[in-house]
Amino acid sequence: MTATMIDGKAFAAGLRERVGAAAATFTARAGRRPGLAVVLVGEDAASAVYVRSKGKATVASGMESIEHRLPADTTQDALIALVDALNADDAVDGILVQLPLPRHIDEQAVLIRIDPDKDVDGFHPVNAGRLATGMDGLVPCTPLGCILLLKDRHASLSGMEAVVIGRSNIVGKPMAQLLLKESCTVTTVHSRTRDVAGHVRRADIVVAAVGIPAFVRADWVKPGATVIDVGINRTDAGLVGDVDPAAAEVAGAMTPVPGGVGPMTIAVLMRNTLVAAHRRAGLPAPEGL
């Protein structure tokens, strides 16, 4: 058996196209474009690349890109004051503070200051609570992207055994909540789990988000399982995921690295910004996103 490769790049392109069409409709109805404000503090090279990519994607989707680039010595109080100003700005539907922040700034203190209804990263405790209790909220981009890929692959996820490897607030925890929402039976494994391999071998769906190159071995994967590899690890051999590529000989479907989950993150960020704009304008959520 050779796994079907799940083309996240193609799916993300389609999602961004649908977002662009829905953004044009929103602009016609609301009399303004949806607005995404991105805040970058300091000169971290990788963060600067991400911010540029997000800005280009925002403009390409027919939305307003608002960038604030602050020096590395910006104080926490000054950053929070900017967040407060963006919260109060009616032209801003989404606020994203690019992480990591300089060490002298408390990331959590900044993130919880963002208006939950503009928190397009989905990291605010209010949005985490909404997700956990089944309420409508903004969901972290990467796990939501994973769910969209899974639902495109399977007509229904109901009743499937799912294992999430990793328990971060950014991917692992919201991923487990989204799978529960789809009526999967969900197990979260982590660094203290006994017999990780045994749990993975039972899974119809495996989502690997642990940040260790080739952590999931091919002989752990149940034949025919769907494997979503969230890992992006830079090694001497190039970019590799959290799953041994040999798992493709066992799995039924698998995301490649690169080209799998990665492209979905910015596409879902565009989707979240558009959803936030609709909610703030009192309009029904756009369909098909």
Catalytic residue numbers read 54, 98, 121
β-pairing verdict for 233-235 and 238-240:
antiparallel
* Nearest CA-CA partner of 281 in 60, 28, 17: 28
Alpha-carbon distance 124 to 115, whole Å? 8
The strand pairing partners of 254, in sequence order, are: 5, 227
- Chain mean position to CA 287: 19
What single DSSP character describes residue 248?
Answer: G
Alpha-carbon distance 200 to 195, whole Å? 9
> Rounded to whole angstroms, what are the CA distances from 157 to 152, 265, 273?
10, 21, 26
Which token pair is 128?
Answer: 């985490």
Start-to-end CA distance of the chain, whole Å, equals: 32
Alpha-carbon distance 195 to 192, whole Å? 9
User: In which residue are the tokens 């790049």 written?
Assistant: 9
**What angle, 0 to 180 degrees and rounded to 10, lies between the N-to-C axes of helices 45-60 and 8-30?**
60
